[in-house]
């Protein structure tokens, strides 16, 4: 083959290859094939305020693994964003205005630790089927006001715990 | 029901509320050891996030989709993994971890197979420090949850205390 013929072949070959790659690339993106690439089994980006208990409990994660404060503190607290980042690469933190659904009134003394550690009471006894929730609660997972207090008193009577007002109220 | 169970109620899968007396559970089923490093390790294990994947007290049971072993490894038999089959040997290693000089003092410890114990200790530290990718069961499937690197989150002493706590599960 003469040198000038070889040059022409290279140009034509390169153009054909570019055309083929372009068509394949277009097919790849338009057909959604790129979406079938292996992804992480956990979403890379999540929002703290869109937390699904169900998705986590079905993996077998125990309540106390994230809500460990309930076993060492009076207050329950909420898991930190850093805890979420152990598995999720990016976690959208809650806005400054965001508040947990449950706030204990100032005149009520309640210790989670006393109930979970000393009392040995399981989470669902008070909080129900939290593991089935797909979104954070809009309402407290334990009823407010008299309805809540009646549940406390009923349980205290069953186990013989004190029902004296000052046991729980300041 | 005041049942005697292997795991406390809060560590087990949830069930529907019952009308009877509350089910008995306890926060940490292992008996407090009285050893400061073990207790510090216990608290670290449950507060920094180890328990989220490895289970309460390292008992395991958390699924890892598309991981070769299906569930994230349990850590409550760490002593066996370090070839420590006698309680006295476990105690010796826990004491070395409390002093944070285990690799240096193992040769004089009288432990059988101490080179293997030291190699296993260094392997575990390296794994915790640098993390580890999780092997995929289906190569075309999603990435399983990897072991994250802890070198920016835990100190060397923290790692020793956590290992001491996990070893104490065999005492």
pLDDT in tens, B92-139: 999 999 999 999 999 999 998 999 999 999 999 999 999 999 999 999
Query: Cβ of B145 and A41 within 8 Å?
Result: yes
Instruction: Say what the pLDDT of residue A144 is.
Output: 86
Query: Cβ of B56 and A62 within 8 Å?
Result: yes
Mean per-residue pLDDT over chain B, rounded: 84
SS3 B136: strand
A77 touches B: beta carbon within 8 Å:
no
- pLDDT top residue among A154 and A17: A154
pLDDT at residue A40 greater than cutoff 50: yes
Query: Cβ of B10 and A62 within 8 Å?
Result: yes
Instruction: Say what the pLDDT of residue A8 is.
Output: 61
Instruction: Say what the pLDDT of residue A25 is.
Output: 52
CB-count burial class (<10 Å; 0-12, 13-18, 19+) for B46: buried
CA distances (Å), B74 to each of A52, B55, B59, B77, in order?
24, 7, 5, 8
User: Model confidence at A22, in pLDDT bands (50, 70, 90)?
Assistant: low
pLDDT at residue B38 greater than cutoff 80: yes
Distance between CA atoms of residues B44 and B42, nearest Å: 5
CB atoms within 10 A of CB A62: 26
Distance between CA atoms of residues B150 and B163, nearest Å: 14
Task: Write out chain B residues lying below 8 Å of A125, CB-based.
Answer: 17-18, 22-23
Mutate to test the interface with A, among B14, B43, B65, B153 (most CBs of A within 10 A): B14
pLDDT at residue A96 greater than cutoff 50: yes
Query: Cβ of A83 and B49 within 8 Å?
Result: yes
- pLDDT top residue among B25 and B50: B50
Distance between CA atoms of residues B57 and A68, nearest Å: 12
User: Model confidence at B66, in pLDDT bands (50, 70, 90)?
Assistant: very high
Instruction: Say what the pLDDT of residue B108 is.
Output: 93
- pLDDT top residue among B97 and A19: B97
Instruction: Say what the pLDDT of residue A99 is.
Output: 81
Distance between CA atoms of residues B115 and A28, nearest Å: 54
Distance between CA atoms of residues B145 and A87, nearest Å: 7
* A126 φ/ψ angles, rounded to the nearest 5 degrees: -100, -35
Instruction: Say what the pLDDT of residue A32 is.
Output: 46
SS3 B66: coil
pLDDT at residue A122 greater than cutoff 80: yes
Q: A99 near A140, Cβ under 8 Å?
A: no
Instruction: Say what the pLDDT of residue A140 is.
Output: 85
Task: Write out chain A residues lying below 8 Å of B28, CB-based.
Answer: 71
Q: Can you name the CATH fold of B33-168?
A: Cytochrome Bc1 Complex; Chain D, domain 2 (1.10.760)
Distance between CA atoms of residues A107 and B128, nearest Å: 45
Q: Which of A109-118, B52-61, B151-160 has the lowest mean pLDDT?
A: A109-118
pLDDT at residue A134 greater than cutoff 70: yes
Query: Cβ of B142 and A62 within 8 Å?
Result: no
Give the chain B residue whose CA is nearest to the CA of A39. B142
pLDDT at residue A10 greater than cutoff 80: no
Closest Cα partner for B165 from B66, B63, B71, B28? B28
- Chain B nearest-CA distance from A27, in A, is 21
CB atoms within 10 A of CB A53: 21
Domain map (residue ranges) of chain B: 33-168
Give the chain B residue whose CA is nearest to the CA of A151. B19
Instruction: Say what the pLDDT of residue B57 is.
Output: 92
Cβ neighbours of residue B130 closer than 8 Å, sequence gap 6 or more: B149, B151
Distance between CA atoms of residues B32 and B36, nearest Å: 10
pLDDT at residue B6 greater than cutoff 70: no
pLDDT tens for each residue of A154-169 = 999 999 999 999 999 9
Instruction: Say what the pLDDT of residue B10 is.
Output: 37
Task: Write out chain A residues lying below 8 Å of B20, CB-based.
Answer: 158
pLDDT at residue A27 greater than cutoff 60: no
What is the reported pTM? 0.74
**Which residues numbered 118-157 in A keep a CB inside 8 Å of some CB on B?**
119-125, 128-131, 155
Mean per-residue pLDDT over chain A, rounded: 81
Tell me the DSSP string of A95-110: PTT---S----TTB--
- Residue range A72-88: average pLDDT? 88
User: Model confidence at B37, in pLDDT bands (50, 70, 90)?
Assistant: very high
Instruction: Say what the pLDDT of residue B12 is.
Output: 37
Query: Cβ of B145 and A61 within 8 Å?
Result: no
Query: Cβ of B27 and A116 within 8 Å?
Result: yes
Give the chain B residue whose CA is nearest to the CA of A55. B63
H/E stretch holding A45: strand A45-47
pLDDT at residue B166 greater than cutoff 60: yes
pLDDT at residue B159 greater than cutoff 90: yes
**Which residues numbered 19-38 in A keep a CB inside 8 Å of some CB on B?**
38
The radius of gyration of chain A from alpha carbons, rounded to an integer in Å, stands at 29
């Amino acid at each position: 083959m003469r040198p000038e013929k070889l040059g022409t072949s290279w140009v034509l070959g390169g153009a054909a290859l570019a055309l083929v790659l372009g068509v394949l690339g277009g097919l790849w993106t338009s057909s959604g094939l790129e979406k079938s690439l292996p992804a992480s089994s956990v979403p890379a980006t999540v929002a703290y305020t869109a937390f699904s208990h169900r998705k986590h409990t079905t993996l077998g994660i125990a309540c106390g693994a994230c809500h460990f404060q309930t076993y060492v503190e009076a207050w329950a607290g909420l898991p930190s964003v850093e805890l979420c980042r152990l598995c999720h690469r990016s976690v959208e933190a809650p806005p400054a205005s965001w508040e947990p659904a449950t706030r204990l009134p100032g005149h009520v003394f309640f210790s989670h630790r006393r109930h979970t550690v000393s009392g040995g009471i399981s989470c669902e006894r008070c909080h129900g089927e939290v593991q089935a929730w797909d979104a954070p609660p809009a309402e407290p997972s334990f009823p407010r006001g008299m309805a809540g207090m009646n549940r406390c008193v009923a349980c205290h009577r069953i186990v013989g715990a004190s029902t004296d007002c000052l046991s729980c109220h300041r | 029901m005041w049942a005697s169970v292997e795991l406390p109620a809060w560590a087990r899968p949830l069930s529907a509320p019952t009308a009877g007396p509350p089910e008995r559970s306890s926060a940490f089923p292992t008996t407090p050891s009285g050893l400061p490093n073990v207790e510090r390790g216990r608290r670290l294990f449950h507060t920094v996030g180890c328990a989220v994947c490895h289970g309460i007290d390292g008992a395991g049971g958390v699924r890892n989709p598309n991981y070769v072993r299906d569930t994230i490894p349990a850590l409550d038999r760490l002593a066996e993994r370090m070839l420590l089959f006698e309680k006295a040997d476990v105690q010796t290693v826990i004491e070395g971890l409390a002093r944070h000089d285990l690799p240096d003092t193992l040769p004089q410890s009288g432990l059988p197979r101490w080179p293997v114990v030291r190699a296993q200790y260094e392997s575990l530290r390296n794994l915790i420090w640098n993390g580890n990718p999780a092997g995929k069961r289906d190569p075309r499937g999603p990435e399983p949850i990897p072991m994250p690197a802890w070198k920016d989150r835990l100190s060397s002493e923290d790692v020793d205390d956590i290992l001491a706590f996990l070893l104490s599960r065999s005492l």
